[in-house]
Chains A and B, each alone.
Chain A
Amino acid sequence: MSTVQSPEADPTPIVESDGKMLRQVACFAALAYLMFLFFSHIGTELTSAIGGIACSLVAVLLIYRGWSGLGLNRMRSDIVAAGIFIFILGSLTALGRFMESPWSAFFGLVGLEIFLLAVTAGWKEVRKAPPTALFGVGIIFIYIMASCLASIIAPYGEASVVGQTYMPWGSELKDGGIALLGTDQLGRDTLSRLIYGARNTVGVALATTALTFFVGTFLGLMAASLQGIVDQGLSRVVDVLMAIPQLIFALLILTVIGDGVLNMALVIAMLESTRVFRLARAVALNIVVMDYVEAAKLRGESLLSIIWREVLPNATAPLAAEFGLRFCFVFLFIASLSFLGFGFQPPTADWGSMVRESGNLLNFFTMMPSMGITPLVPAFCIALLTVAVNFVVDWFLHKMSGLKE
């Protein structure tokens, strides 16, 4: 070897982990458990049950493959397996509820597995993470589980009236149950609505962000790679869209096309995708001037091949961070709109409108503090998730900037 040094040590060889047996058992148990849940519905909801069975099969297979591909050591592999067993065993304590909502159980289990795999695989990074980031990761996990398992853990239905209006915290209800956070203006259980609100608000925000991201990234990368007229045209359109404040623009469009969750999501996706477009374009512009892109061009590669092989892999890190940030903005945007009374229609539970509907309770604080802070609870749920995502993104950005040096 003639050159002087190799700065990096040899890549650590992937040792075939010896926790193979347990891994197989865990995956098999998960599959059997899901099959059982879905099969019990086959008489009543045939299509849903068959769909569920198919999804379970695919999901377990993918998880198993990913799991073995990660090359975790024995201990970490065991932790993931343990998580799965605990979930299944835990569900036995309230099997009835789990059997009622097999889809919730399915998403909950898959969410848990992915989370555990991600944390154990990236343990080296996670261990060095600052407390704020760990806090963020934990909170995000709790929210994901709450959203997935909403119909299982919520004591009452999303829209069912269970007692009198505005009952204080901890009141006893007609059916003998207890409304931990009281009831709302129609006599629905606030805690249940809060849990369903997680599913609705977070779910819609996530879907909207995904749409935003897809549109923005696709157009941004295209603009940067093609340049010329396409770039000019798209950039001018985006300039104009960004020249009007987003909230104002959204209200303007909602006046025209009418209210509703879908309209709201589409409008927000359109407006927010302008920001993603800008970022994706800027990132890609820095990449397309690199010599390796020129080399690919001179080799005669097609445009799509260049975007896919050369540009996209180098844009993923900043785009991933942007996804987190964009989620926060979209989430707050949705919360603001629904607080103002747009978007979600009753009786759908969502945090923004819950705040608006219970806002007046604030004045009862001096008489009954718990009742007074009721409107703050959903608002706080919104804030907590945004804080958590922001902390994680901040950590990620810090790591990224550190890598550059």
Chain B
Amino acid sequence: MSKILATIAQRLGLGLVTLFVVTLIIAGMIEALPGDFCQAILGQSATESTVQACRRENGFDQPFVTRYVTWLGNTATLDLGTSLSNKRDVGEFITVRLENTLFLAAFAAIVAVPLALTLGILAALYRYSWYDRFVNVFTLTSISFPEFLVGYIMILLLSVMTSTLEGGSWFPALATVRPETSFADRVHLVFLPAMTLTLVVVAHMMRMTRAAIINLLASPYIEMARLKGIKNSRIIVKHALPNALAPIVNVVAINLAYLIVGVVVVEVVFTYPGLGKSLVDAVKFRDIPVVQASCMIFALTYILLNLTADVLSIVSNPRLLHPR
């Protein structure tokens, strides 16, 4: 058991190191700005004294290490500074956006994960059948579609084409949720972006699931089970699945991570007030505190997901679970 704990501890340690480097990069981006931060935000027309004042205010007279530690402390306590473009408190503003994004991502994930796993496993089991061939072409096509195309097709089919003269349609094209929007309304509003994300992720996930299962079914112990006269269903449940856990967990984690990124484009298509949309806007206005905060959140989620996958696949490895 100690070996498995050591392995997990090692992974966690590595994750921490990565996280540390990521914070360094994000905090360090200000250093890398051409000119400096104050020059960048105040523009060329600013007088020397205002720039000086800005530098003092933001602590730019301090060495990098001091500023890094302060920034890290602030970030950890969700004190994320003030937005440069709308002067709002970034922490507050981001929290609302984050909630929206998480809602969208969770919605998509709840639909996508079970769907993709089921369809992927079926494709692996009925390999070379017509179903499998169809799935192959369909998913290959689907992963080749940029997210915005899928989004627009969704809008066209389920919103514009279903709209009536009175102005109603099945689903709204724009997902403008507000903090006071009720849960039921949210589900309705977010339906199209969520389906867009689902479609994109399902294709990836199905392909990877199928590949993982096929790889597994080729192993000698599966052949042995067949030659022992075990029923197909039992082979899948008893012999394939326990060993498939690690690859499947990996597939899910990778795709959830992918979902987090896919969110950016989809939110822009549907002008959904989430973290991705705010990041894109902030990058355009060079609103650095917002960029830093959003990147930090995205990176954190991504690293955590990958770490979870790592740990789960270690835990499901019988060789590590039952050492000699």
Contact = CB atoms under 8 A, between A and B. Distances in A.
Contacts of B284: 341
A362 B265 contact: no
Nearest to A391: B140
Contacts, number: 138
B29 A252 contact: yes
Interface in A233-254: 239-240, 243-249, 251-254
B64 to A, nearest CB: 15
Contact of A244 (B144, B148, B288, B302): B302
B280 A243 contact: no
B96 interface: no
B21 A240 contact: yes
Contact of B279 (A248, A256, A375, A382): A248
A258 B282 CA distance: 13
B194 interface: no
Given A246-B261, A355-B148, A362 B299 contact: no
B45 interface: no
Nearest to A359: B152
Nearest to B140: A390
B265 to A, nearest CB: 5
A336 B148 contact: yes
B146 A372 contact: no
A329 to B, nearest CB: 10
A215 interface: no
A138 to B, nearest CB: 16
A132 B21 CA distance: 44
A340 B32 contact: no
A376 interface: yes
B291 A255 contact: yes
B286 to A, nearest CB: 6
B229 interface: no
Given A257-B32, A383-B144, 7 more contacts: A132-B137, A244-B298, A245-B257, A328-B144, A339-B265, A373-B156, A379-B148
24 contacts: A240-B18, A240-B21, A244-B22, A245-B260, A247-B261, A247-B264, A248-B294, A256-B32, A256-B33, A258-B34, A336-B148, A340-B280, A363-B160, A366-B160, A373-B156, A375-B152, A376-B152, A376-B153, A379-B146, A379-B149, A383-B144, A383-B149, A386-B145, A387-B140
Interface of A: 132, 239-240, 243-249, 251-258, 328, 332, 335-336, 339-342, 352, 355-356, 359, 362-363, 365-366, 372-373, 375-376, 379-380, 382-383, 386-387, 389-391, 394
